[in-house]
Structures are given as structure tokens and as C-alpha cells.
Amino acid sequence: MYRLAFLFAGLVLATSVHAQGVGEKSGANAVLGRSPSTQDFVTQAAMSDMLEVESGKLAEQKAASEKTKQFGKQMVSDHQKTTEELKALVNGGKVKAQLPTALDSSHRSKLDKLNGLSGEDFDKAFDDMQRSAHKDATSLFERYSKGGDNEELKAFAAKTLPALQHHLKMAEDLINANNTTGRGNR
């Protein structure tokens, strides 16, 4: 009986440890308001930055709207800065985590979808993606800034959060402008 209880306790513990990484990928942590692990935060923040930089570059080339092009340019600039700050924390030894070196399949497919579009179709997909991505990033940074386990990274998350909230507002404003004036008149 004790063996069975011990085995069950080990299984529950292993599942909860494994679920933390899965929870962040699946969105369960966000729904539950749970802080991501340090590694999950670093991975998701870096993926988000990579997607923002690459999609911003595409917006500068492919967008029909000058507002969307300018927004893309700002995303490249702002997210390159946060990427450098995150890299400095990890490479400087203040944060024990591994930085991803390439986009995962989920982020890659979003970028591939954008790459196949141009003009007004691109603008709509880009604007929608930016709103969604910045909602996710805002949640991630807010949760880590409140409950993360690395003080340096918590400070980074808290410092970066207002810029992400501003980006979210800008993305929502782009969408609202499109709905009010029509795509061709922006």
C-alpha cells in the first residue's frame, strides 16, 4: 500500500513539473493566472521578440498602409532592444536559462502566413496578429513580474510591461482605424 502511495505521489509531482512547460505552451498558465517558470518565460519572451522583429520587417516591405509600415518599423526597433536586454541577462549569468536560437513551429507558421500575403490582406493579418501577440506578451510579462522566481528577470518583465501594453493599444488602434475608415483609406 505504501509503495502504491509513494508511486502515485511521484507521478503527481512529475506531472506537475512537466505541466508547467506544457501549461505555458498551451495557455493553461495564462488562464489560471500562474507565473511561468524562468525557462518558460525566457523561451516565450525570446520567441515573441523574434516574431515581432521578423513580422515587423515584413510589414515595412509588404503593408499597404503607411501606419502599418510605421508600426512594423517600431516593432523591429523596440523588440530588438528587449532581445538585447534579455540576452544580456542570460549571457551575463543573472538568469539561468537557455535562449532559443530559432522560432518554434507555432511562431514560424504565423510568420509564413504573413509572408504569403501582401497589401491590404497583409495589413489585416498583421494587425490581428499584433493584437493577439501583444495580448499574450502582456499576460506573460505581467504574470512573471508578479510571481517569477528570478529577481533580475522580474525587474526586466516589470520594466518592459508598459511598452508591451502600449504596443497592444497601438495594435488595437490600427484595427479600429481599419474598421472605421476602411482598409484603402488609412
List, for residues 134-153, the tens digit of each pLDDT value: 999 999 999 999 999 999 99
Tell me, what's the pLDDT at 176? 87
List, for residues 85-97, the tens digit of each pLDDT value: 999 999 999 999 9
Contact assessment for residue 94 and residue 152, using Cβ atoms and an 8 Å cutoff: yes
> Which residue ranges of the chain lie beneath pLDDT 50?
2, 4-22, 24, 26, 183-186
Angle at 103 between CA 99 and CA 104, to 5 degrees: 100
Assigned C-alpha cell, 111 = 510568420
Look up the CATH architecture of domain 36-91+114-178. Up-down Bundle (1.20)
**Alpha helices, H only, 63-150:** 66-91, 105-115, 119-147
User: Which distant-in-sequence residues (6+ apart) come within 8 Å of 85 by Cβ?
Assistant: 156, 160
